Structure 1
Amino acid sequence: MGFWRQPKPTFLRRALFQIHLWTGVGVGVYMVFISLTGSAVVFRRDLNTRMLGNIPANEVAADAQKLSEADLRAAIQKQYPGYTIRRVAMARRRLTPSEATLIKDGETLQERFNGFTGADMGSARPKSVAVMEWFTDLHDNLLKGETGRKVNAVGGALLCLLCISGLVIWWKASGAWFKGFFFDPRSGWKRINFDLHAALGFWGLVILVLWGISGIYFGFPDFFIKVVDYFEPPELVAGGRRGDAFIAWMVRMHFGRYGGMGVRITYVIIGLLPAAMFVTGAIMWWNRVLRRWLASTRPARARTRAAFPAHAAAEQVD
């Protein structure tokens, strides 16, 4: 009758089920790791703004002039006697603090200074920001730079494979498709677990696929740029290109760089979705694969104990 009306018996469904199962088993822990670290860095910009804020506008007169680099160095040296000023980075924007690197007896400080008064505005890398930057590097690059980004790109491709195969498995039939949207809390726990896994996958499908594709982009941006150049050659397209706009939109969507606090809180919650799906999927794997395998090997283990009673006695002692 065809896949759309009777999907269960089809070879495609059985094959994709195996692909979905073993891909999930193979990369499930990685997906949990990426989703949890992604949720952890959602508020990175908020933390940076709070800990590394600009010079308050109400403290700067409209006609105020910034200190020259020499005057700023003198003000810094007065506040940090005995320190060597290795570098001063003069801020380009009016209200952005300048930064200085200070060294004394092997100790290195990175401090921020008011470019109008020379006042110390605190560390340029407070511990909370340093920890967040570490988590960001862990999520983006696996602490391995470009190599880590490419590994994440492979993970993004596998996430897309999980989504596509999961969608095919989720499809029930033309007359029962709506049953995959929810789960019935009155069902048995195995049925609830299966339906919850399917429903979470359906409702999170779009954002999960987008995270997967954008993960591939971060690892191999040149490929995406070449695709855009092929369909919209820069020399033939006047103004902004739709491909470039799509990539920029995809990046904003990946990080939740739109909307307000509500969007970021939502991203934290959605970021836990792969972890929830891994748990529900692992429970199904245990019931469908490991449990059956253990049951099938039980007679063989019993025969081994019967043939080697001393071994069986040792197992009981253990």
Structure 2
Amino acid sequence: MESWEDELLLDDDFSDEEEDAEEQIEETGLEMDADGFADWEDSPDTAPVDETLEEALAEERALELESELEQDEHPRDYNAELEDEEEESAPTSEKRLKREIRAEALKRLEEAARTESDFLTVVDEWNMLDRNRERRERDHENLRGDVPLEFQAVPDPRIAPLWMNLPRFRQLCQGNFLDIIFSCPYELHELTSNRFLSKLFFTLSDEQKEVLYYLFVKQYSTARLAAIRGQSDRNIRKLRMTIQKKLQKRMYEHLSEKLENDHGLTLRERKFVEEYEALLQTMGKDAVIRRENKTKPRKKKAVLDDAEDG
């Protein structure tokens, strides 16, 4: 029998909980009505925060339902729109020609715009492209808002076990099971929708995938991973540095190629390119952006005591 079951069956006295509730009422200074009940409407601002999160959660569910209904009513075969390996290796393909024709037509429409109505037409074309892109992302990604996964989770449950309140289990109950299926070092390339990153992770060795998965996805410490793999902490740190150099170099080359082809970059990608270029000038081929440790080192108490005695 689990410990929480023993507490549930043997703890028949709820006087401690009643005393805690009374102390909480006295500390919060709730006003008591004539009938002896507390006026909870005058309590602190915890309720509005919960209401805001509930509204945001309801909005997320409504958007998710809308996306599912749109996919059911207007299904699209995205595999038919993408090029296969044979078409990618070929110098020309019908799908690629269609994309280039659409891009060229939009470019000519922009260059020929003179009046306000012409520019509004261009804006409508770009809005349509953005809507199509957002729809494709919604069909393949779980776009969530700012509502934390642990919202409405019971902090100390007596009936349901704690693992049923974990974000992973709640995500599984909602049908978002892809992250759980591919939660494996050797399926690391399936955890991203970015095609370049997926191919980049796929080319890593099994050892590099394990280190990358446990250090950056699972957020294990180097000491913990070293104990699991039977290696020294120094070896894990050295392997992590090698992986970072390889990935950052390939990413910089990929983003530089996009800039040369006049493709847009996100702010995060631009920041990465700027930082990496600055390190290339100072460190050369050993350039690598290291993750900053923002935790301030704690002073040892013994050292402080010795300083005071001295």
TM-score (norm: length of structure 2): 0.28
Higher relative contact order (CA 8 A, sep 6+): 1
TM-score (norm: length of structure 1): 0.28
Structure with the largest fraction of strand: 1
